[in-house]
Amino acid sequence: MAARSIASMTLSFGLVSVPVKVYTATESKSGVGFNLMHKECGTRLKQQYVCPHDGKVVERADMVKGYEFEKEKYVIFEKSELEALEASASHTIDIVSFVPTEAIDPIYLDKPYYLAPDKRGGKPYRLLQQAMKDSGTCAVARWTWKGKQHMVQVRAGNDGLILQTLLYADEVRSQADIGIEETDIQPTELQLAEQLIEQYRVDSYDAAAYKDEEKERILAEIDKKIAGNKITAAPNIEHPGAQVIDLVEALRASLKKKPQAEGRAAPRAAAGKAAKPVEIAETPPPTKRRAVRRATTDEQPAPARKTGTRK
């Protein structure tokens, strides 16, 4: 099925205007959902809106939207008025500056969209894409969408332009407020850590190399339930006392292990074999050691899921 644009806009900077179409770039793949059922008869429950004033169930046709301007005081908006508010918004993505691509901290990046050229926009679209790619820059722009003005990043992707909304400064909490303590890093520890990073390093991130293993595990258990089997929790395995080693020894031991495959995360213990937990002590004094537990748990391979779609 062909992708459908959600809006037609004009990407503008200086005297240049590029007609573009906006497409959603992502789709939510949420976890396994469970429905609320009536325990007595097994019927799926229906959600309803009830007016607390008269106790009546309100149908959607009788609902309107209101804005609370004071406590328990609302001004009501009709559908046509809400549409008028959105219609008055600008249909232009106004570029305000160009910055180095790496200048924007990824923590400010929010929802991504794809931009495609609209009619008569192919040449300036490709020109802007190539110019930003060659110069290593991206654009910072303003975009008003659905009653909210967004600051956005427009950058050159491999296949076209990508628009990504940015969080405002007051929407990002300061990490300094967490109070992370400072520690002394020894040169030997740093050298070993860098060697470990280099051992696990890959040239690029391949999103297709990873899958939601937890979702697959739950779906496999659901298949068992459909087949009439009862789902029970896996027994907790009591491990013997953990071996305590210092940070340098832990790093050296990690360097002896090799990643399973290119593009994958740290190696895991083989299925069905419990790995011995290790506690890493940061500082030498034995009376003040603060340990962080690293452990792997037994995992049983999930059976193949049945084909077909379940609702």
The verdict on residue 77 lying in a domain is no
Q: Hey, what are 68's tokens? A: 């609370």
The verdict on residue 184 lying in a domain is no
Q: Residues 197-256: pLDDT tens digits?
A: 888 888 888 888 888 888 888 888 888 888 888 877 777 666 544 454 577 788 788 877
178 pLDDT exceeds 70? yes
The verdict on residue 136 lying in a domain is yes
Q: Flag the least confident range among 10-24, 49-63, 236-250, 290-304.
A: 290-304
The verdict on residue 65 lying in a domain is no
Helix axes 247-255, 187-200, angle to 10 degrees: 30
The verdict on residue 114 lying in a domain is yes
The verdict on residue 239 lying in a domain is no
209-214-217-222 Cα dihedral, nearest 10 degrees: -130
pTM score, whole prediction:
0.66
Q: What does each C-alpha distance from 123 to 5, 117, 126, 280, 294 come to in angstroms?
A: 20, 9, 5, 58, 55
Number of structural domains found in the chain = 1
CATH number at residue 157: 2.40.290.10
Which residue range is the domain that position 148 belongs to? Answer: 7-26+86-169
Which residue would you say has higher pLDDT here, 245 or 17?
17
E-strand spans in 182-294? 243-246, 278-281, 291-294
The verdict on residue 105 lying in a domain is yes
Euclidean distance between the first and the last CA atom of the chain, given in angstroms as a whole number: 22
The verdict on residue 125 lying in a domain is yes
- Residue for token digits 């030498």? 284
Q: Residues 55-98: pLDDT tens digits?
A: 999 999 899 999 999 998 999 998 888 887 776 567 899 999 99
Task: Report whether 116 contacts 70 (CB < 8 A).
Answer: no
Q: Residues 267-292: pLDDT tens digits?
A: 443 333 444 444 444 444 444 444 43
